[in-house]
Amino acid sequence: MKTIEKEIVIIGAGLTGLTLAYYLKKAGKSVLIIEQKERTGGVIQSVTENEFTYETGPTTGVIGSLEMAELFEDLQGKCTLETANSQAKKRYIWKKSKWEALPSGLVSAVTTPLFTLADKFRILGEPFRKAGGYPDESIAELVKRRLGKSFLDYAVDPFISGVYAGDPQQLITRYALPKLYALEKNYGGFIRGSIKKHGEPKLPNAHKVTREVFSVAGGLKSLMEALNAEIGEENISTNCRQTKITAEKNSFKTLFTDLSGENYEIKSATVITTVGGYALPNLLPFIDENKMKPLAEMTYASVVQVAVGYKKWNGIKIDAFGGLIPSKEKRNALGILFPSALFEGRAPQDGALFSVFLGGIKKPEILTKTDAEIARIVQEEIQITMGIDTAPDLLRIHRHRYAIAQYDIATGKRLESIEWIQKNFDGLILAGNIRDGIGMSDRVKQAKLIAESISAKKTEL
């Protein structure tokens, strides 16, 4: 048994774990990341093959938090942020066998065939509609109440598929879309809230939160490699098996076995987990079963992500972020993103790269299909929606069983459990996408704030 002492142990080397370790190390802390896989990056991985550079997990992020913007500033020279070109502003929605652009201004909002005439008139009354008053209202209920059913079906449902691979009937607004919830709660409505917020004084660095779509030169994995290099290989243990944590008086022991069968014991005052709820019972066996249950049983949407490449593109014009497919249209794909239209070097000149995603909370059976079945489904989706009938030059399938945490009605109980566990086991922090948002910007924000609060606490002592 090898015994090591560290100030902080982090479980999981995805974006959350790596960002945590990066900022903690910068603040002078001794950290060790424990990762079960042979590589770091978690669900983020980019592959360059056959003249294409594609992602096997998330395709793009959004500069949606100050912390995300500042991480790229801090890593300047170590990796190169790529913001999408202006085509990213255009998004398509599939309706009645063709793509329709999502309205981006008043004229297109009036003329779009996506929404009914009645709902277009209805939106004029949105500022005067009464606020809800039901805290656990679903996104679907809120949108129907304030905007109308066609907005739910042809704007919000596909948006929720794109972000959560989820169901607006199941997701609770205050947990899944807290900013939207706050607009109604604090200002009485979406339009009123947006106008008032626009006029309010901004925080000094608010301009950095550009909401631009981003990737990184060479793919998102370059961000992970830059973090790895800054943290140092000696502070990251990959291929860790049978990891378990025991709670001692005022400290923790993290036990694991490496590939060669050697056992390790890491003593630390702080342990931060960044893994999914399903992985926590094995990791933290000392936590009361009832307190662990809301975490162990939390719902995740499965996603199958398929990279599809053409060396010579002869289909429809690809001049947008991508297209999303509403549930009502009953197609197999949830959406098709167009990375080669946004970033350089994703496909050969005159070629195209797509990221097709399938499954989600409404179609979990996709995970049980064979590669051949998925390839057939994807080719049919591309043929029908993108106007091409030749076989692609690249088709790579990636399955994610626990892709996206669902902030559904069980979220309240889960957050209570997290609070209870952290309060009763001082030094144990449960991070990751079990709370605080599922997007990359949310993950970086959570990680940086935790790192800052740990550094501030220890300085005070």
Ligand X SMILES: Cc1cc2nc3c(=O)[nH]c(=O)nc-3n(C[C@H](O)[C@H](O)[C@H](O)COP(=O)(O)OP(=O)(O)OC[C@H]3O[C@@H](n4cnc5c(N)ncnc54)[C@H](O)[C@@H]3O)c2cc1C
- The residues of the shown chain that bind ligand X, judged by CB under 6 A, are 11-17, 34-37, 42-44, 57-61, 240, 243, 274-275, 279, 283, 303, 305, 400, 403-404, 432-433, 438-440, 443
* Strand order, beta sheet including 91-95: 98-101, 91-95, 322-324, 333-337, 352-359, 300-310, 394-405
Nearer residue to ligand X within complex by CB, 280 or 375: 280
Nearer residue to ligand X within complex by CB, 138 or 302: 302
Nearer residue to ligand X within complex by CB, 347 or 431: 431
Nearer residue to ligand X within complex by CB, 174 or 443: 443
Structure tokens at 19: 């960002």
Q: How far is the CB of 43 from ligand X (least distance, A)?
A: 4
Q: How far is the CB of 221 from ligand X (least distance, A)?
A: 11
**Strand spans (E) along 284-373:** 300-310, 322-324, 333-337, 352-359
Q: How far is the CB of 251 from ligand X (least distance, A)?
A: 19
β pairing state of 46-49 and 52-55: antiparallel
What are residue 334's DSSP bridge partners?
none
Q: How far is the CB of 423 from ligand X (least distance, A)?
A: 22
Q: How far is the CB of 214 from ligand X (least distance, A)?
A: 9
Nearer residue to ligand X within complex by CB, 59 or 112: 59
CA distance 147 to 82: 35
Q: How far is the CB of 73 from ligand X (least distance, A)?
A: 18
Nearer residue to ligand X within complex by CB, 74 or 126: 74
Q: How far is the CB of 148 from ligand X (least distance, A)?
A: 28
Picking from 197, 175, 176, 193, the residue whose alpha carbon sits closest to that of residue 184 is 193
β pairing state of 2-5 and 263-268: parallel
Calculate the alpha carbon distances from 444 to 5, 60, 62, 218 in Å.
Answer: 26, 14, 11, 20
- DSSP-based helix, strand, coil % in the chain, nearest 5: 40, 25, 35
Residue 301 has phi, psi (to 5 degrees) of -85, 140
Nearer residue to ligand X within complex by CB, 147 or 341: 341
